[in-house]
Amino acid sequence: MIPAEFTYQRAGSVDEALALAADGGDDAKFLAGGHSLLPLMKLRLAVPEVLIDIGRLSELSYVRADNGTIAVGALTSYHDLAQSSLLASELPLLAQAASQVGDPQVRHRGTIGGSLAHADPAADLPAVVLALDAVLAARGPSGEREIAAADFFQGLFESALEPGELLTEIRIPRPAGAGWSFQKFTKRAIDWAIVGVAVQDRRVALVNMGQQPVRASAVEQALAGGAMPRDAAAFAAEGTSPPDDLNGDARYRAHLARVLTARALDEAASRG
């Protein structure tokens, strides 16, 4: 099984990647690790005519502390996120979630930027950056702009990135508290989550409970109103529209969201 024909181009710099994307127009896609895009291309669910390989832009692979913010380069692999001592101490939610994506081989290749730009609501890191209140930096023909994570995910496989815009950095405010948890439920180790929950302090975000990753606003409001974690978790499915598929129907997902949110809030409370 191989992808449909395309033209492969390799970018040697961010500027070159942007220039190639401008030339390629709507038929061009950026290729980072390829672990979201290539499987879709093999199934002909994505048929780009031009692939612009940004995988060698090592200047986009880093985790560093900038004042009150942790900056993560878009090309940082899941493996490097999981191994980062800075993340382990400052943002353990991101390190822990990254260590559970896919399997070791996938984690060696897959990147945080690739996952976010792909905007799959069943992927883990989109919900994690929502819970972390991250800001996503993108570069395009007219320069750099910042997009709040809450505005970035717009629908199934749909992000706020304009054609030709490249996600370059994820900027995450240092959390105020120490309470965090990541929970997901899968049938097999390597599967996407049937449902997942990311908690940082009192922010709660859900994996695979709709067309895009969502904040569990009703849970957050209940917590802000003084509800106990177990009681607040009962609102986890409110306002969501979880999919029905082979892994479970919407009712089952709503149940999972409540159970996993209760576990996540308990675990976060035990750390905070």
Partner 1 sequence: MKVSVTVNGNPVTAEVPDRTLLVHFVRDEAGLTASNVGCDTSSCGACTVLLDGQSVKSCTVLAAQADGRAVTTAEGLAGPDGELHPVQQAFRAEHGLQCGFCTPGMVMAAVSLLAENPSPTEDEVRLGLEGNLCRCTGYHNIVRAILAASKERVS
Which chain residues interact with partner 1 by CB under 8 A?
Answer: 1-8, 10, 31, 34-35, 38-39, 42, 51, 53, 55, 79, 102-106, 108-109, 189-190
Taking the complex as a whole, the smallest distance from the CB of residue 55 to partner 1 amounts, in Å, to 6
Smaller CB separation from partner 1, 53 or 90 = 53
Smaller CB separation from partner 1, 24 or 229 = 24
Smaller CB separation from partner 1, 29 or 258 = 29
Taking the complex as a whole, the smallest distance from the CB of residue 37 to partner 1 amounts, in Å, to 10
Smaller CB separation from partner 1, 109 or 255 = 109
Taking the complex as a whole, the smallest distance from the CB of residue 226 to partner 1 amounts, in Å, to 39
Taking the complex as a whole, the smallest distance from the CB of residue 53 to partner 1 amounts, in Å, to 6
Taking the complex as a whole, the smallest distance from the CB of residue 115 to partner 1 amounts, in Å, to 14
Integer-rounded Cα radius of gyration of the chain? 18
Taking the complex as a whole, the smallest distance from the CB of residue 106 to partner 1 amounts, in Å, to 6
Smaller CB separation from partner 1, 10 or 255 = 10
Q: What is the largest CA-CA distance in the chain?
A: 57
Taking the complex as a whole, the smallest distance from the CB of residue 13 to partner 1 amounts, in Å, to 17
Q: For residue 48, which phi and psi values (nearest 5 degrees)?
A: -70, 150
Nearest-CA neighbor of 204 among 152, 123, 130, 100? 130
Smaller CB separation from partner 1, 104 or 239 = 104
Q: How far apart are CA 219 and CA 233, in angstroms?
A: 6
Which stretches of 87-245 are assigned E, i.e. beta strand? Answer: 135-140, 143-148, 153-155, 158-159, 166-173, 180-185, 195-200, 203-207, 214-215
Cβ contact 81:88 at 8 Å: no
Smaller CB separation from partner 1, 136 or 166 = 166
Cα torsion 148, 90, 60, 133 to 10°: value is -10
Instruction: Please tell me whether residue 145 adopts helix, strand or coil conformation.
Output: strand
Q: For residue 216, which phi and psi values (nearest 5 degrees)?
A: -85, 80
Q: Which residue has the tokens 């961010």?
A: 14
Residue 258, Cβ neighbours under 10 Å: how many? 21
